[in-house]
Chain A
Amino acid sequence: AQTVTQSQPEMSVQEAETVTLSCTYDTSESDYYLFWYKQPPSRQMILVIRQEAYKQQNATENRFSVNFQKAAKSFSLKISDSQLGDAAMYFCAYSGGSNYKLTFGKGTLLTVNP
């Protein structure tokens, strides 16, 4: 069974600084997707970034980028120039095989300090 581990229950960062959130996963699949979702207090799940396992190039979306290490099964999220609106719970998630089901980590609560 696939598992996703986020070892940082909470993180904090100063506004305009950079923060990295960690995620590791375990799978026997060779083809899969990895995601970071953001959940602000409104509880809406917002897709931040997606990485396809067969792509070696790390995904980037504006201030958000990932460090995907397939051999190490590591998938960290870097947020640059942090903004107050980035404060939220961040979930790492895995989707593999043909069923497209998501397996989530326990989440990391990010606080952004002004």
Chain B
Amino acid sequence: SAVISQKPSRDICQRGTSLTIQCQVDSQVTMMFWYRQQPGQSLTLIATANQGSEATYESGFVIDKFPISRPNLTFSTLTVSNMSPEDSSIYLCSVGRDLLFFGPGTRLTVL
């Protein structure tokens, strides 16, 4: 199984600002995903981070709000832009193909 780390583990941000979350994997992986878990809810896929090309976003998520970078096969970033209190969630990266593993998550609170 892959070892996945995320930074920061938590943050409290002001409305209107942006936060970049990093995801680092200890081995090269082809598939990397970003999920959001709103308070008391299940996980929802934001996008698939593609190495060397633009991320593939799910319905309801747009690049201007959640820009994603994937410079290589072990690293990705998710930025939450122009934040509002509704963006308060846990953001998780996951990697794998037919077996998916998750990072520890980033708990974001927007005031």
Contact = CB atoms under 8 A, between A and B. Distances in A.
Given A43-B104, A43-B105, A44-B104, A100 B43 contact: no
B45 interface: yes
B64 interface: no
Contacts, number: 49
Contact of B90 (A43, A104, A106, A107): A43
Q: How large is the interface on B (under 10, 10 to 19, 20 to 34, 35 or more residues)?
A: 20 to 34
A7 B33 CA distance: 27
Nearest to A32: B98
Nearest to B59: A1
Interface string B66-93: 0000000000000000000000001010
Contacts of A102: 33, 35, 43, 45, 94, 100
Nearest to A52: B98
Contact of B42 (A33, A35, A47, A105): A105
A86 B17 CA distance: 38
A105 B43 CA distance: 8
B90 A100 contact: no
B99 to A, nearest CB: 6
Given A44-B105, A91-B43, A33 B90 contact: no
B100 A107 contact: no
Contacts of A42: 104
Contact of B107 (A35, A43, A50, A95): A43
A34 B110 CA distance: 34
Most buried by A among B43, B96, B101, B105: B43
B22 interface: no
Interface of A: 33, 35, 37, 42-45, 47, 50, 52, 91, 95, 99-107
Given A43-B104, A101-B45, 20 more contacts: A33-B98, A43-B107, A44-B102, A45-B43, A45-B94, A45-B102, A45-B105, A47-B100, A91-B42, A91-B43, A99-B48, A100-B97, A100-B98, A100-B100, A101-B33, A101-B48, A102-B33, A104-B43, A104-B44, A106-B42
